[in-house]
Amino acid sequence: MSGSFRIFKIAGISVEINLSWLIILVLLTASLALDWFPVAAPRYPVLTYWALGFLAALLLFASVLAHELSHSLVARARGLPVKSITLFIFGGVSNIERGPQSPGIEFQMAAVGPLTSIVIGGVSLGAALLVGDASPLIWATLYYLGVTNLLLAGFNLIPGFPLDGGRVLRSIIWKATGSLRKATLWAARVGQGFAYLLILVGVWQFFTGYLVPGLWLGFIGWFLLQAAQAENAQVVLESLFKDVTVGQLMGPAPGGAQGNVSVQWLVDNYVLPYGARSIPVMSGETFIGLITLEDIRRVPRESWPLTPINAAMTPFARLRIARPGESLNEALPRMARGDVNQLPVVDEMGRLVGMLSRDAIMRYVEIRRGLGMEEVEPGQLSRREGAGRPSQGEPPLPVTS
Ligand SMILES: [Zn+2]
């Protein structure tokens, strides 16, 4: 997620905060300080309400983090690499690099989140009960945490993508039918239906005088809608590319240039006459790197005649490459993560055997669509590439209004 920065690492997973999270932190603190604490624990100084409001908001996000962490830890224990957890305006997401391999793993990964929230909620409510009248401020904090965590669990159990309940539903349909694609389609449909409902209720609230809650619901609905569609597109594409190898779609390897020629020579002889945007760099017959327009732009203009291209290129060791025999589903995320338009295809001997380009993949999708073989929309490809891998979407705190 852009605009995120890392705050710490926990159990080897980096925890990031998105700038949009600051908005919800302020909103939550204010609503707690102005609406909740003065009612739940009257006759304290205003400053106390604000300090406690801030603390309770932080504790709520600690609960959201615990919820996400439970998803991530189960994912990792089942062999799925976890990149990070991000807290943002609508809650948290775990950035898990691959989808689960079986319905059983999916079920465990999804269910553990709401379960964690239920446990935190139950413990907080129990503690609130113990504290009772002894300390109204502590009671109000614990009670708030208890109720919001239970609401969070309840909201997440709604059986539509991208909510945890949607993942549970998907794992069940997946198990029953054996088709991940069918299961995803259904979970995404329920998710989209629910998202439209939220938007509808949001619009209705907005026009009946509840401006802020209406807007908030509308935004949550919109966010869920996007996520449900992206997830469905992802799975459709994965099934489309399952049996396609890089070697089948790659184009021929472009002619390379020797590493000792100058950047100026390359621009005059390759880039300008042929419009080449990405040129393999060779040392004799060996492929040693790739030089792109971006690499060239980094060299100051006046140094072009004197800089050999092997000093300006991206060397082989730092290149993202594809193998001719691997599935497109393995190569595509690499392309998306590197935000590059093509990957050099290198065989086991280190020889450059072709180029896999985004254009060729788009063309393939187009042709299959033209033949009526798939219902995938061309726009889904770019959406998937922009959005990266699927993540466990965590919605929001439905209780702030
Ligand atoms: Zn969750």
Contacting residues for 303 by C-beta, under 8 A, at least 6 apart? 263
State the Cα–Cα distance between residues 85 and 65, nearest whole angstrom: 8
Which SS3 state, helix, strand or coil, does residue 290 take?
A: strand
Provide the mean pLDDT of the chain.
84
| Residue 387: pLDDT over 80 | no
Read off the amino acid at residue 135.
S
The one-letter code for the residue type at 145 is L
Could you tell me the distance, in angstroms and rounded to a whole number, from the CA of residue 94 to the centre of ligand 1? 9
Query: Rounded to whole angstroms, how far apart are CA atoms 128 and 133?
Result: 9
Q: Does the pLDDT of residue 364 top 70, yes or no? A: yes
- Widest Cα–Cα separation across the chain: 83
- Please report, for residues 239, 241, 254, 332, 366, the alpha-carbon distance to residue 244 in angstroms, rounded to integers and kept in the order given: 10, 5, 22, 11, 15
CA 11 to chain centre: 20
392 Cα–ligand 1 center, Å: 6
Q: Is the predicted pLDDT of residue 381 greater than 70, yes or no?
A: no
Cα of 396 vs centre of ligand 1, distance in Å, is 10
Per cent of the chain over pLDDT 70 is 92
Q: Does the structure show a pLDDT above 70 at 229? A: yes
**Residue 65 burial by CB count (10 A; 0-12/13-18/19+): exposed, middle or buried?**
middle
In three-state secondary structure terms, 161 is: coil
Task: Examine the pLDDT at 26 and tell me if it is beyond 60.
Answer: yes
Torsion angle, alpha carbons of 248, 386, 80, 90, to 10: -160
Chain centroid, CA 243 distance in Å: 25
Give the confidence band of 234 by pLDDT, cuts at 50, 70, 90. confident
pTM greater than the 0.75 cutoff: no
Catalytic residue IDs = 68
Strand partners, 5: 17
Q: Looking at residue 373, what is its pLDDT?
A: 67
Mean pLDDT, rounded, for 19-32: 90
Structure confidence by residue, pLDDT tens digits, 290-326:
998 889 999 999 999 999 999 999 998 888 888 988 8
User: How high is the pLDDT of residue 105?
Assistant: 92
The b-or-e profile of 284-299 (16+ CB within 10 A means b, else e) is eeebbbbbbeebbeeb
Contact call for residues 16 and 86 (beta carbons, < 8 A): yes
User: How many whole angstroms separate alpha carbon 101 and alpha carbon 180?
Assistant: 10
Q: What are the backbone angles phi and psi of residue 218, rounded to the nearest 5°?
A: -60, -45
For residues 68 and 88, the answer to whether their CB atoms sit within 8 Å is no
> Which residue bears the tokens 């991940």?
180
Asked if the bond preceding 252 is cis, omega within 30° of 0, the reply is: no
Residue owning tokens 């995803």 = 184
Give me the domains of the chain, ranges plus CATH numbers.
Answer: 1-157 (no CATH), 252-316 (3.10.580.10)
Q: How far is the CA of 276 from the centre of ligand 1 (A)?
A: 46
Query: What is the pLDDT averaged over residues 224-230?
Result: 83
Query: Residue 180 Cα, ligand 1 centroid: separation in angstroms?
Result: 20
H-type alpha helices, 32-45: 37-40
In the reported structure, the alpha carbon of residue 51 is separated from the centroid of ligand 1 by a whole-number distance in angstroms of: 28
Query: Given this model, what pLDDT does residue 226 score?
Result: 85
Cα 113 to ligand 1 centre (Å): 4
In the predicted model, is pLDDT for residue 383 greater than 80? no
Tell me whether strands 4-10 and 13-18 are parallel, antiparallel or unpaired.
Answer: antiparallel
Q: Quick one: pLDDT at residue 374?
A: 56
- Band of the pLDDT at 271, cuts 50, 70, 90? confident
Strands 82-88 and 13-18: parallel
How many angstroms is it from 228 CA to the middle of ligand 1?
A: 14
